A and B are shown apart, each in its own frame.
Chain A
Amino acid sequence: MDPIRSIYEDDPDMLEIVREFAAELPGRAESLENHLRDGDLEELQRLAHQLKGAGGGYGFTAVTEVAASLEQALKEGADESVVKDSAAALCETLRAVVVPAED
Chain B
Amino acid sequence: MNPEVPNPTRVLVIDDTVSIHKLIVARLRPEGLEVTAELDGQSGLERAITDVPDLILLDIGLPRVDGFEVCRQLKEHAATRNIPIIFLTGDTDTESKVRGLDLGAVDYVTKPFDEVELRARVRAALRTKRLQDMLEQQSFLDGLTGLWNRAYLDRRLEAELNVSERYGRPLTVVMADVDNFKRINDTHGHLFGDIVLQGIAESLSASARRSDIVARYGGEEFGVLLTGTNLKSAIYVSERLRASTESRLYEARNEVVRVTASFGVACTEDVEGELSPEAMLQAADLALYASKEAGRNCVHLFRRGELVRIPGAF
Contact = CB atoms under 8 A, between A and B. Distances in A.
A34 interface: no
B26 A53 contact: no
Contacts of A52: 90, 111-112
B29 A53 contact: no
Given A13-B29, A57-B111, A57-B113, A49 B61 contact: yes
A53 B22 contact: no
A53 B111 CA distance: 5
A100 to B, nearest CB: 14
A56 B16 CA distance: 17
Interface residues of B, number: 17
Nearest to A24: B19
Interface residues of A, number: 16
B144 interface: no
Contacts of B113: 57
Contacts of B20: 50, 53-54, 57
Nearest to B89: A53
B43 to A, nearest CB: 18
Interface string A42-60: 0000000110111111100
A57 B17 CA distance: 13
Contact of B19 (A14, A49, A58, A64): A58
A80 interface: no
Contact of A58 (B23, B29, B30, B61): B23
A81 B96 CA distance: 30
A103 to B, nearest CB: 15
B102 to A, nearest CB: 23
Most A CB contacts (10 A, CB to CB) among B16, B20, B27, B112 go to B112
A17 B23 CA distance: 7
Contacts of A13: 26-27, 29-30
Question: Which of A17, A21, A54, A56: most chain B Cβ within 10 A?
Answer: A54
Given A20-B22, A52-B111, A55-B112, 5 more contacts: A17-B26, A24-B19, A54-B19, A57-B111, A57-B115
Interface of A: 13-14, 17, 20-21, 24, 49-50, 52-58, 64
Q: List 7 tightest A-B contacts by C-beta distance, closest first.
A: A56-B112, A53-B111, A57-B112, A53-B90, A54-B19, A57-B23, A17-B22
